[in-house]
Structure 1
Amino acid sequence: MPDIATEENDPFQFLGRDGEVARIIRAFDWSSTPLGKVEDWSAPLRTAIALLLQSPVPIVMLWGEDGVMIYNDAYSVFAGHRHPALFGSNVREGWAEIADFNDNVMKVGLAGKTLAYRDQELTLHRKGYPEQVWMDLDYSPVLDEAGKPAGVIAIVVETTERVLAERRNRQEFQRLQSLFSQAPTFMAMLTGPRHRFVMLNPEYRKLIGNREVDGQDIADALPEVIEQGFVKLLDQVFQSGEPVSRTAQRVMLRWTDDGPLEERHVDFVYQPIRSDSGTVEHIFVQGSDVTERVRAENHQQLLINELNHRVKNTLASIQSIVTQTLRGVQTKEEASKAISSRILALSRAHNVLTNENWDGADLHTMIENALDAFQQAGREAINITGPKLRVGPHAALSMALAMHELATNAVKYGALSTPDGLVDIEWSIDADDIFRLVWTEIGGPAVTKSDRQGFGSRLILQVLPRELQGKAELSYEPTGVVFTLTTTMDAVSDRPVASGV
């Protein structure tokens, strides 16, 4: 083992350490460079070299006007395949692809000034082909014994991996944000135990009436949901780490800060998001506004219930028609004809109501439809007049059946039994909302009151006024039969009435 070297027999003693770069420095022919022989190097130069060799951070020193390069082991890794040829070369030539950049560095540094770059993008040829790299660069002048700048020392920290990772993250985040904003369902991200809004998409904003809630705790942003239990549910998810979902959940929301509560129904899930340590940091809210679906389902159920009710009523009406008809006929043929015609009248009334979704019917249309089969070819034997009036389904059916019975009687015995007879049907509404309908026969044979009362008579004189909470009168005038129905507008509109007229 050789004796410990002294400065006289080892001019590189100042290096203070061994290593690849230290060995390169020892073996390099410095006399061929502007620095000259090592023995003639100045103390500041030696000290600067010793310092950079000790650093684990990539450092390169650019000495003199030419910027002769001396660097440490960490920088040799950064230099890639350019190492060790860079050693002792002039920086403008060693990194020829960025000569202009380094020329500026030398001018600024030798003028006694500093430079600092963060995530500086450069194109370097470290692997035999051009590649984009990003670096944090700090340049400071190195002073000689007289205090004048003699070189530039550069601390080089490559940030390429971080920059590219951040760029990928930004692109991924932008992609997710795009998907987030375009999603057909509502979404929001809540953070912390107080569930602060950090992200929400347009559908979520639409759900809450486009209120500005960004950066607010949910209890402050949507105070109406506190008593409805949604904040407590979020607390449960945050504490337990277990997701919670609901279907067709009713929620009352204000679409303006001082507006009324609006009822909505939503399907949703509260999904906890954990950190690397396993603790819940965020809650992802995702769901759909299913208000229209729920309303449609409720309406459908209502229609089904209403249909059941109407079917039962219709069957009861048919049963009554059959029973009452059979009581007043003598033969099967007469019974069959009477039953068929009355059920057909009921069917025509149903058709009118079905076209109106059983929401009522125009009275003129209902009567016209009920009497269409009784019109005589070539002339208008039935005249219908009255103000435009919409009647309820129940009243419409009752009056349609009554019109059929009156017309049937008129064909057999009254005005419609002759070629010139007429029937005039007129209704009116007075100032007290009293509805009055009058059936008047003209031009038929003389009529007299019969002692026999069949189904038709009972229908128009007993059933009809009872169903419409009113009264009915049938008179036998010299000119023909006159029938009058009097009731209230509440009754003909199917609104409940307190008592009869």
Structure 2
Amino acid sequence: MAYLIRSFDWSSTPVGPVERWPASLKTSTSLILQSPIPMVMLWGEEGVMIYNDGYSVIGGHRHPALLGSNVRDAWPEARDFNDHVMRTGLAGKTLAYRDQEFVLHRKGYPERVWLDLDYSPVLDETGTPAGVIAIVIETTERVIAERRNREEFQRLQNLFSQAPTFMVMLSGPEHRFELVNPEYRKLIGPRDVLGLPVADALPEVAEQGFVELLDHVFQSGEAVNRTSQRVLLRRTEGGVLEERFVDFVYQPIREDGGTVTQIFVQGSDVTDRVRAEIHQKLLINELNHRVKNTLASIQSIVTQTLRGVETKEEAAKAISLRIMALSRAHDVLTRENWEGADLRAVVESSLEAFQVAGRDAIRIGGPDLRVGPHAAISLALALHELATNATKYGALSSPSGNVDVSWSVGPHSEFRMSWTETGGPPVTPSDRRGFGSRLILKVLPLELRGVAHIEYAPSGVVFTLDTSLEAVSDKASGAAS
């Protein structure tokens, strides 16, 4: 540029021949030529351009035509900007811009560029501003790189925030929370943990050994995976500890030298899954238990029935009816997931097959009450035996006979169920003790920790069971299973 300036015909410009340049212009020109920083001087009202080698690179294909031209004409796409610069600089003021964006035609096509610009007035011998010196640093590559980094970071932030799993970035040996996504906040509750060490932000977690596990990962550089890990979290301030189950990985993050500087935590809250698995295991165990009990009940029904019958046909019919009674009780309990049943539903299902068409031969009444699975089956089998006997010999064998089934709860949680027959043929006690009699008078009170009584009144059979509300709820101590 020194060579080009010396050989340029300055007499064709407002600046005039070099030999007539004022000392201030020569000094300023010498200053910018010796600077490694891109600089341009805009002299006079026209802003005649004199620049150094650094600025020639910024000029691109417009160099060397820029030399000696008026700045407003040299960069027509930035005319208004440069006009403002000249007016400000010649008024003795400075200007500074950082990452100023322009669209310049440096290569024959419009190009977006970013520049750092510093403008200062150049004073002549009288101290009057005669021109403007500009330091011009192109920052295009840096700006584009930063924008790309920001966009990439924002993209990662969006992925981080929208991830269906919880994610956390911990930094330093104290494991300070650097990044936390919404799923993690959902896990730990509304606590502001950013910037805090894990031990301070989640003290209950530290007490369960998780900080020691983080220390191990940070020091050894080895990742740690856990599946269905139980953790107790105080998800509200002053609240109780809540049990959660999580799958997670602690992944060490290394710098270029290989030193661990951060730990990335990623995982899922699998509490619902784990609890479902636990519940499933309990159900399977319960099912196994109930199947064994059911088989034992059927075995007992078959054995006891065979002792009291004379023909195969009678045995087959009795066994079939009793197993059907057991099945109906199971149906009621299955609808309630074997967590108990409504007593009225148990009674109705047990006696449904014995109702007489066209009239309410069996009347049912009592308060709303839930009974346990064990009590439900025991009562269903007993009611079946009472109804079978009433159909053969009692009130249900007569077109005008009736049965009243009722239950009540006393002031001290006493439970009573009554079976009262009326309108049937006269009944008399029998010396024969079959399966039904043994079931209602011995097995039932034994199973429900109560007392059973049967009376053969002239009007019909009256059967009562007295026990406790606790017993029929399957809560009695030592209740059979």
Q: Judge same fold: TM > 0.5, yes or no.
A: yes
Alignment counterpart, residue 176 of structure 1, candidates 156, 164, 187: 156
Alignment counterpart, residue 266 of structure 1, candidates 241, 246, 254: 246
Tell me by how many angstroms 1:240 deviates. 2.2
Q: Distance in 1 between matches of 2:129 and 2:177?
A: 55
Q: Which residue of 2 aligns with 1:11?
A: none
Q: Which residue of 1 aligns with 2:119?
A: 139
Alignment counterpart, residue 73 of structure 2, candidates 83, 89, 93: 93
Q: Distance in 1 between matches of 2:285 and 2:199?
A: 41
1:297 alignment partner AA: E
Q: Which residue of 2 aligns with 1:378?
A: 358
2:224 alignment partner AA: V
Q: Distance in 2 between matches of 1:281 and 1:180?
A: 20
Q: Which residue of 1 aligns with 2:377?
A: 397
Task: Pick closer, same or farther for the CA change 1:485–1:419 going to 2, 3 Å.
Answer: same
Alignment counterpart, residue 112 of structure 1, candidates 87, 92, 116: 92
Once the two structures are superposed, the pairs formed by residues 12-411 of structure 1 within 5 Å of their partners are 21-411=1-391
Q: Distance in 2 between matches of 1:199 and 1:264?
A: 22
Q: Please give the root-mean-square deviation of Cα atoms over the aligned residues, in Å.
A: 1.6
Q: Percent same amino acid at aligned positions?
A: 73
Using the TM superposition, name which of 402-411 and 274-283 deviates more.
274-283
1:44 alignment partner AA: S
2:473 alignment partner AA: S
Using the TM superposition, name which of 31-40 and 458-467 deviates more.
31-40
Q: Which residue of 2 aligns with 1:496?
A: 476
Q: Which residue of 2 aligns with 1:486?
A: 466
Q: Distance in 1 between matches of 2:72 and 2:343?
A: 101
Once the two structures are superposed, the pairs formed by residues 440-479 of structure 1 within 5 Å of their partners are 440-479=420-459
Tell me by how many angstroms 1:265 deviates. 0.8
Tell me by how many angstroms 1:47 deviates. 2.1
Q: Match of 2:419, SS?
A: strand
Q: Distance in 1 between matches of 2:202 and 2:335?
A: 45
Q: Distance in 1 between matches of 2:71 and 2:473?
A: 99
Tell me by how many angstroms 1:235 deviates. 1.7
Q: 1:98-125 CA distances to partner (integer Å, 9 max, x unpaired)? A: 1221122122212222111111112211
Q: Distance in 1 between matches of 2:358 and 2:2?
A: 125
Q: 1:191-219 CA distances to partner (integer Å, 9 max, x unpaired)? A: 22212222212111111112222222221
Tell me by how many angstroms 1:91 deviates. 1.2
Q: Distance in 1 between matches of 2:254 and 2:76?
A: 49
Q: 1:448-467 CA distances to partner (integer Å, 9 max, x unpaired)? A: 22222111111111110010
Tell me by how many angstroms 1:51 deviates. 1.9
Q: Match of 1:146, SS?
A: coil
Q: 1:27-47 CA distances to partner (integer Å, 9 max, x unpaired)? A: 211222222222222332222
Using the TM superposition, name which of 460-469 and 88-97 deviates more.
88-97
Tell me by how many angstroms 1:348 deviates. 1.0
Calculate the TM-score normalised by the size of structure 1. Answer: 0.93
2:437 alignment partner AA: S
Instruction: Give structure 2 stretches of 5+ with no counterpart.
Output: none
Task: Pick closer, same or farther for the CA change 1:234–1:499 going to 2, 3 Å.
Answer: closer
Tell me by how many angstroms 1:179 deviates. 2.1
Q: Match of 2:118, SS?
A: strand
Instruction: Give structure 1 stretches of 5+ with no counterpart.
Output: 1-20
Q: Distance in 2 between matches of 1:224 and 1:135?
A: 53
